[in-house]
Structure 1
């Protein structure tokens, strides 16, 4: 599972596709959730990173 960090909040998704102008986010049923322009994307995080390591990323 992935987490897209945006200025307005966060969106969790199962997979994503890169496009020329941003990311397309999809849920576990392969349903389209959102398009996020690269200019609005602060970070894309892999949720497994948090489960494996308790260190702070700050």
Structure 2
């Protein structure tokens, strides 16, 4: 799982695809969740970093 970190919050997704202008996010059923323009994306984090360390990544 991944988390797209945005100014307004986070979107969890199973996979993502890079496009010319942003990321397309998909769930575990391969259904489209959201498009996030690169200008609005603060970070894309693998959920494993949340399990590995208790400190905030923000």
Asked if these proteins are the same fold (TM beyond 0.5), I'd say: yes
The aligned length equals: 57
Greater than 4 Å deviation, 4+ residue runs? none
What's the TM-score once normalised by structure 2's chain length?
A: 0.89
What's the TM-score once normalised by structure 1's chain length?
A: 0.89
The runs of 5 or more residues in structure 2 that have no matched partner are none
Q: Distance in 1 between matches of 2:25 and 2:34?
A: 5
Alignment RMSD (CA, Å): 1.3
The runs of 5 or more residues in structure 1 that have no matched partner are none
Q: Does 2:13 match 1:13?
A: yes
